Amino acid sequence: MKQADLMAKLKTLYEQLPRQERLAAGFVLDHPQEVAVMSMREQSRIADVPPSTMTRLAKRLGFGGYDELRDVFIATIRRQGLEYESRVPGLVAMKKTQGEDSLLRDLAGTTLAHIESLCQQDNLAAILRTGKLLSEARTIYCLGLRSSFPVAFHFHYISSWFTANVQLIEGGGESGIMTLMHDIGPKDVLLVASLAPYARRAVTLTRYLAQQRVKIAAITDNASSPLARLATETIIVKKKTTSFFDTLTPALLVSELLVALFAANARVDIQSAVKKTEEQLWAAGEWWSLN
């Protein structure tokens, strides 16, 4: 059975299901990505039903158990996961038929168009609202995994020039995760960046922080992404180009815009803080001097 057929069948049966199974069905309909990447017990906990209810729902749909139902969603993700590979021939063909110059101009032009789309009023309003959210936070946690890591790192790096209340969640040695084991709550904000295909751990950590009532500011590529559904504020960026890989440039620009707003609204003496950091970096020999 294909995922689209399964979802259609669920919608048809929904009103006829017992209450507990309706809750389980609602979770499947609303969170198809999570069905593929989370265990049945994790899903049942979020849906607020016993694991046995998930199994009953699967059997009602004609499956032997919930794992068979999950396999339908996993197969869909695997097919989507080959998207990059399928775009390689187009990149090579464009180079052969139109030349390297045209290829480069196309790539640059597409990225510029993505950046220009950020200047639409809805996007600017979302960036401004997110900037306000960050400026009011007690602590800002920055999260970006796999290809999205530079977006989170960039915000954290620039912020560290003038404030100490921004924490980067890193995976190395699990040290970053330990920053979340302390006092977190509604006064804090998570700035998370993740573009499809979404890093599973980014979704899991974002959900955990949302459950702790941390406010979520998401930089993502789709209003229906698992991060957008958890977010207080969402900034949508475009990413597809002629190449087989997606551009990170618009997401990085959003990171720079947000840190500029954060600095402009900071309640500390920014000039003195930046001057002190700059002097310390020179004194530590971090930069090469031509003198």
Q: What CATH number has the domain bearing residue 249?
A: 3.40.50.10490
Same domain, yes or no: 113 and 73: no
Same domain, yes or no: 112 and 254: yes
Residue 175, pLDDT > 70, answer no
Q: What is the mean pLDDT of the chain?
A: 87
Same domain, yes or no: 42 and 182: no
Which of 80, 115, 149 is where one domain is finished?
80
Residue 284, pLDDT > 80, answer yes
Average pLDDT over residues 127-141: 94
Residue 177, pLDDT > 70, answer no
Which of 41, 63, 80 is where one domain is finished?
80
Q: Is residue 199 part of a domain?
A: yes
Nearest CA to 40 among 56, 22, 55? 55
Same domain, yes or no: 263 and 120: yes
pLDDT given at position 85: 61
pLDDT given at position 19: 93
Same domain, yes or no: 186 and 76: no
pLDDT given at position 218: 96
Same domain, yes or no: 230 and 269: yes
Same domain, yes or no: 72 and 118: no
pLDDT given at position 172: 53
pLDDT given at position 126: 95
pLDDT given at position 150: 94
Q: What is the CATH number of the domain that holds 65?
A: 1.10.10.10
Same domain, yes or no: 140 and 264: yes
Average pLDDT over residues 197-205: 86
At 149, is the pLDDT very low, low, confident or very high (cuts 50, 70, 90)? very high
Residue 57, pLDDT > 90, answer yes
Residue 47, pLDDT > 60, answer yes
Same domain, yes or no: 18 and 129: no
Among 22-26, 137-141, 285-289, which is the least confidently predicted range?
A: 285-289
Same domain, yes or no: 132 and 214: yes
Average pLDDT over residues 52-58: 95
Average pLDDT over residues 205-233: 90
Identify which has the larger pLDDT, 278 or 224: 278
Q: Is residue 100 part of a domain?
A: no
Q: Is residue 88 part of a domain?
A: no
Residue 86, pLDDT > 80, answer no
pLDDT given at position 23: 93
At 201, is the pLDDT very low, low, confident or very high (cuts 50, 70, 90)? confident
Q: Which domain holds residue 7?
A: 3-80
Q: In percent, how much of the chain has pLDDT > 70?
A: 92
Same domain, yes or no: 275 and 174: yes
What total of structural domains would you count in the chain?
A: 2
Beta bridge partners of 141: 167, 190
Q: Is residue 216 part of a domain?
A: yes
Same domain, yes or no: 150 and 279: yes
